[in-house]
Amino acid sequence: MMKRLFDICVASVGLLASAPLWVAIATAIKIEDRGPVLFRQARVGRGGRVFGALKFRSMIQNAEAKTGPVQAAEDDRRVTRVGRLLRATAMDELPQLWNILRGDMSFVGPRPLRPGEVEVRGDGRLVHLDQMPGYEERHLVRPGLTGLTQVYAPRDISRTSKFRLDRLYLRRAGFWLDVKLILLSFWITGRGEWESRNRHL
């Protein structure tokens, strides 16, 4: 209950305080390619419930029309110029404050995954994430805007390793750990290092 009240209070303040940023970001996106400002993506939440996660659009329009759902890679050509700045600072995820206020997400928790998401192994095998150890456990709580995995895990480590960090968070979750992870997230945002593989914390 305390975590939910914290989420509601901070998300409400965040939405009000960030209103000028919404206007600036929306204007920049429109100027670049006149496409839609917001992007809604299906994600798996608490208890396996699918919800629509909101983001500022950081890629070209219809970026997955030919490839299907593919995670963005370093120097991905689908990412727009405005999108590169948004992704480096995590400002593309600012609209998820609304998801937090609605109760789809929390500020801190495992990163929400896409339904049916797969991982491509080194030998070319496709492994469904829901077949990996730890997948079900991470849906015992609301997914987070930030978290232990988002802050500490390099982008290119395996999902199995990320799921281990998610389980570690579930075992150690508490108010002060959440506060620490939120403050570290602000530090990474200020440095524009969310897309860096080796962040300096």
Question: What's the gap between Cα 2 and its chain centre?
Answer: 23
Q: Which residues partner with 108 through β-bridges?
A: 146
> What distance, in Å, lies between the first and last C-alpha atoms of the chain?
30
Beta strands 38-44 and 50-56, pairing class: antiparallel
Q: Measure the CA–CA gap between 131 and 74, rounded to whole angstroms.
A: 26
Q: What is the pLDDT along the chain (201 residues), one digit of tens a residue?
A: 889 999 999 999 999 999 999 999 999 999 998 889 999 999 999 999 999 999 999 888 776 655 555 565 556 778 889 988 998 899 999 999 999 999 999 999 999 998 877 766 666 677 778 888 888 888 999 999 999 999 998 877 888 889 899 999 999 999 999 999 999 999 999 888 888 766 666
User: In three state form, how does the secondary structure of 52-85 look?
Assistant: EEEEECCECCCCCCCCCCCCCCCCCCCECHHHHH
- What are the backbone dihedrals phi and psi of residue 25, each rounded to the nearest 5 degrees, phi first? -65, -45
Q: Which residue has the tokens 């609209």?
A: 95
Domain range list for the chain = 2-191
Q: Please name which of 130, 138, 124, 132 lies closest in space to residue 160, comparing C-alpha atoms.
A: 132
